[in-house]
Amino acid sequence: MQNTTPPNIPTTPGLSKRRVGRFYLTSELGKGSNGSVFLGHDPIIDRDVAIKTLATTPGLADKKQREQQFINEARAAGRLSHPNIVTIYDASSEGGTTFIAMEFLQGQDLRQALASGRRFDSIETVNIITKVASALAYAHENGVIHRDIKPGNIFILPNNQPKVVDFGIARAPNRILSDQANPEHTLFNNNILGTPNYMSPEQAMGQQVTAATDVYSLGAVMYEMLTQQKPFQGQNIDKLLQQIAHKTPKSPSELSPNVPAALTAIVTKAMQKNPAERYTSAAEMGQALDKFLERDKRLKRKRGRPAGDANGTQEQAPERSSLFWLSCIAVVVALLAVAANFWLKVVPH
């Protein structure tokens, strides 16, 4: 079976002759300050892959740190095997290029989806967040804390399945990059490690990071999916960090009345300032979301709607349908009786 460039991704002229490791590059998928992502092909397995390369700007003083952090992503994610975590195939530095070869994903990340105006209803939100919680629970069980959960690091496939990506600042047991006193405040390419809008209070204050940090950040992502607003916003990073550390965000149901109270409670618990007051694990948060889905299914069954029919637009229950047709027949019979009575009165005999 011969693989071809996926639709809507134009081949970059001349790029197919370039190789990194054993992989051929065919198209550039994206470019940022830290590097580029290419669509590549693995000739041995005969499959498309995504190739993430590290930018090699000469003279950068933090080049060694950047390379270490880049390889840490492969080390952290590469030891994980979960359906909702991107799969890492290879990582190396060859010919002056440091790269990671990973599973090629089609779709868009959650940040792009939200920015494009896509709205997720409560059930869609819960289904996605539950799977991400499962992925994080698995990572935590294997000693890996992501530390940068945000919409841009949750990729949504065409079938609405999420994949957690970018473990660049994850903490793993065999991490090369040594933790510093305040690693979350370490500047990397003029950016704080971690995304401030979704950063936990302990990260904002430079305190010890645990799995509870990922729980908080996942709660912040869920908050935005439900309300179309970030829990905290601000152009000034210092003020934003102060809000995260000390201010309580508005309730999701206050911003969007359609948000069920049960989901507001889940988000509020996940985003508690004190890590000890949050869910004890991502797995526990996932269990709370599963219970919400089960309650929703029971309520819909009681109302005579098929489970998962969020808008109640599917067929009514058989009993209601029968009553409807019986009512129609009764109306028709009554009309016929009136017509017959009228005929007998007006037609001469």
Q: Considering 63, 86, 103, which residue would you say is the last residue of a domain?
A: 103
Pair 166, 246 in one domain: yes
Are the beta carbons of 192 and 124 closer than 8 angstroms?
Answer: no
346 domain-assigned:
no
Query: Could you tell me if 112 and 203 lie in one domain?
Result: yes
The chain-wide mean pLDDT, for the chain, equals 82
CATH of the domain at 138: 1.10.510.10
Residue 218 in domain: yes
Write down which residue in 86, 103, 120 finishes a domain: 103
Domain contains 97? yes
User: Is 148 among the catalytic positions?
Assistant: yes
Is the torsion defined by CA of 195, 198, 203, 204 positive or negative? Answer: positive
* pLDDT in the model for residue 61: 57
Q: Are residues 70 and 145 in the same domain?
A: no
Do residues 148 and 256 share a domain?
yes
Question: Which CATH number characterizes residue 97's domain?
Answer: 3.30.200.20
In a domain, 174, yes or no: yes
pLDDT value, residue 44: 93
Asked whether residue 315 is assigned to any structural domain, the reply reads: no
Distance CA 37, CA 295 (A): 42
Report the interhelical angle of 282-302 vs 211-227 (nearest 10°): 30
Claim to verify: residue 121 and residue 263 sit in the same structural domain: yes
Do 259 and 159 belong to one domain?
yes
Residue carrying structure tokens 């890492």: 88
Tell whether 24 and 124 lie within a shared domain.
no
230 within a domain of the structure (yes/no): yes
My answer on whether 140 and 165 are in the same domain is yes
Q: Do both 148 and 23 map to the same domain?
A: no
Domain count, the chain: 2
Query: Has this prediction a pTM greater than 0.85?
Result: no
Task: Establish if 309 belongs to a structural domain.
Answer: no
pLDDT digits (tens, 9 = 90+) for 249-298: 999 999 999 999 999 999 999 999 999 999 999 999 999 999 999 999 99
Of 103, 132, 151, which residue is a domain's last? 103
Whether the per-residue pLDDT at 326 is higher than 70: the answer is no
Q: Which of 19-23, 326-330, 338-342 has the lowest mean pLDDT?
A: 338-342
Does residue 83 sit in the same domain as residue 142?
A: no
pLDDT at 37 over 60: yes
Q: Which of 42, 48, 109, 148 is catalytic?
A: 148
Q: For 57-107, write each residue's pLDDT tens digit.
A: 655 556 777 777 788 778 888 989 999 999 999 988 887 888 999 999 999
Residues 59 and 125 in one domain: no
Same domain, 99 and 113: no
3-state secondary structure the chain: CCCCCCCCCCCCCCHHHCEECCEEEEEEEEEECCEEEEEEEECCCCEEEEEEEECCCCCCCCHHHHHHHHHHHHHHHHCCCCCCECCEEEEEEECCEEEEEEECCCCEEHHHHHHCCCCCCHHHHHHHHHHHHHHHHHHHHCCCECCCCCHHHEEECCCCCEEECCCCCCECCCCCCCCCCCHHHCEECCEECCCHHHCCHHHHCCCCCCHHHHHHHHHHHHHHHHHCCCCCCCCCHHHHHHHHHHCCCCCHHHHCCCCCHHHHHHHHHHCCCCHHHCCCCHHHHHHHHHHHHHHHHHHHHHCCCCCCCCCCCCCCCHHHHHHHHHHHHHHHHHHHHHHHHHHHHHCCC
Residue range of the domain that includes 58: 15-103
Report d(CA 71, CA 168) in Å as an integer: 8
Query: Would 337 be classed as within a structural domain?
Result: no
Please check the confidence at residue 302 and state whether its pLDDT lies above 80: yes
